[in-house]
Chains A and B, each alone.
Chain A
């Protein structure tokens, strides 16, 4: 279930850092499915290919979730760059997700 996407910037856009994220979902639960779709959309439009996303199914890896301090699903953790930040919910509010990922300035444009 865990998918990894990491592509180097081929287009030459000024993305200097790769955003590393981890999305914790609960199987095929409606909000989890929505979260995956929402995040993929955000990444496509705002991060191009400069990101690395790991999707963890908590139902299959509860120990991992426990170790990472996950309580609710879906839950998104930005691992790097900068300080870690967390977003809970189905990520339907794009602005807050971007803000949490440190991409708030890009949204306004």
Chain B
């Protein structure tokens, strides 16, 4: 041993396991050159955990490692891990060494034994490979052969002392008999090692749930509590809680929702990186809205992830095609990734883990989960709620613009509040409902809330057709919104009214035009009359006055001769003259005659 010159204590150095989520909750991995104990009941994932740490070190850091198998044969281990694509047989030829430490079933035991020989072999192998990691998988199987417990303790300490001097980061796995106590008869191991990870598997409402908990970590901080884990295509994933603080940055960029009508209701679209919740009863076109969003994202060239529960990707594609949404080409081009999960098989945590790994794999900028409420169907509701929240925060951490749908019973949007409680953390909440009136069921869309947006408070009608979904303007009538046939009737009625108004207008205009023409004609006639009048007036020039006067005088003389009263005789004569002039106006051709 070399003596350390530095007096200040060094920070604990850690070795990353490369297991998604575990390095997060352990704040960097397992303690370097120390021993960690991994314990749990059968089938909880201890071996996979240890093996995965070893494989990751070998593949990512080119760090050789040793795997000592006390429980399973090397061939069995390779076969079990074949689904994870780790290429163990190839690694076993280069950087990893697998020691089959099982005793033959025919072996006879006679008296006490030690592990000294095995450690000598491992020491030689470690030097040869330059190994940094070592795993003792199921060491309790061998120790069980030791007759007295004291001997087992002695051998464990022997292993530990060797590990301390050999600068190896070690993982020892040990079984517990289902309970939460330590490894059977080996409680002391928990005190001896520097880090203890406990694995657990239990049934929650008929669904098997695996969990992991760090119960001890000398000299290091770690995330307390149990974390769900699942086996994905690349090995084990642990659902880490993610970042504790919410990212401060907020984008002002608007992402179109795919509906011009909805975008205008939301003031231009949803914010980039925000999450939108669409609630509604079955058949209110939640999937259609989500599909439209996905299609428009793909058309803009954005990578998109479409997660559907309980319905296969193919079926969703086919169903969406009927309303004019074509996702097929985008799936082929690789822009769109469809993932469908069955909620009756996996527990909510597993879905969270799968979705998280898809987020990292596909790196989408837009995402759909349809319906998120499906995760509440299995397992405990409280955990489903936590998963729902975690998913939304996870998407926010990845700056993914997401649309999440949730099924609610009935038409009351408030029903969602009691279910998954995600409406409180979603940025935008759109509720779809049916309005039944006049023998029809019509889809209505309301924006319940939209953070940071002056959104429309109007209910719109969602119209589906082969040309694609669209939002129709609605008519308000007596404080109620008209939809479907009623809306159509109202539209038709308004059209008829408009036509009628137009006809009336034209009619009136013609009438006025006629009247105008009439007046003009009358004016022309009067003008002619006036001219005639003037012409006639011209006849009565002052030269003719003498003749007129003389004739008047002659008439007066005649009256005098007949002894008539002049004044009386003149008046009827004048009247007659006026009457004659009026008659001449209408007849025109007759010369005015004055007097008999």
Contact = CB atoms under 8 A, between A and B. Distances in A.
A and B: interacting chains: yes
B68 to A, nearest CB: 9
B111 A31 contact: yes
A64 to B, nearest CB: 10
A75 B108 CA distance: 10
A87 B113 CA distance: 10
Interface in A68-85: 69-75, 85
Nearest to B117: A73
A86 B112 contact: no
Given A58-B121, A71-B103, A89 B116 contact: no
Nearest to A35: B111
B570 interface: no
A27 B117 CA distance: 9
B319 to A, nearest CB: 60
B124 interface: yes
B107 interface: yes
Given A71-B103, A85-B108, A86-B108, A65 B113 contact: no
A80 to B, nearest CB: 16
B142 to A, nearest CB: 7
Interface in B102-118: 102-104, 106-118
A26 B101 CA distance: 17
Nearest to B151: A31
B552 interface: no
A38 B125 CA distance: 31
A99 interface: yes
B109 A73 contact: no
Given A89-B110, A92-B111, A72 B142 contact: yes
Contacts of B100: 69
Contacts of A87: 107-110
Contact of A65 (B108, B111, B112, B121): B121
B103 to A, nearest CB: 6
Interface in A23-73: 24-27, 29, 31-32, 34-35, 38, 58-59, 62-63, 65-66, 69-73
B120 A59 contact: yes
B108 A72 contact: no
Contacts of B102: 71
B92 to A, nearest CB: 14
Instruction: Tell me whether chain A's interface is mostly helix, strand or loop, or mixed.
Output: mixed
A58 B111 CA distance: 19
B111 A24 contact: no
B118 A72 contact: yes
Contacts of B142: 71-72
Contact of B117 (A75, A85, A100): A75
A59 B110 CA distance: 22
Interface string A81-109: 00001111111111011011000000000
A29 B108 contact: no
B117 A34 contact: no
Contacts of B118: 70-73
Given A62-B124, A88-B103, A93 B114 contact: no
Given A85-B106, A86-B104, A88-B103, A26 B111 contact: no
B123 interface: yes
A89 B109 CA distance: 6
Contact of A88 (B99, B110, B123, B124): B110
Contact of A71 (B108, B117, B123): B117
22 contacts: A24-B117, A26-B114, A26-B120, A27-B116, A31-B114, A32-B116, A62-B120, A62-B121, A62-B123, A69-B100, A72-B103, A73-B113, A75-B117, A85-B108, A87-B107, A88-B103, A88-B113, A88-B145, A90-B111, A92-B110, A96-B109, A96-B110
Interface of A: 24-27, 29, 31-32, 34-35, 38, 58-59, 62-63, 65-66, 69-75, 85-94, 96-97, 99-100
Given A31-B111, A66-B124, A89-B112, 9 more contacts: A26-B116, A58-B121, A59-B117, A73-B116, A73-B117, A86-B103, A87-B109, A89-B111, A90-B112
Closest 8 CB pairs of A and B: A73-B117, A26-B116, A92-B111, A89-B111, A62-B124, A90-B111, A58-B117, A93-B110
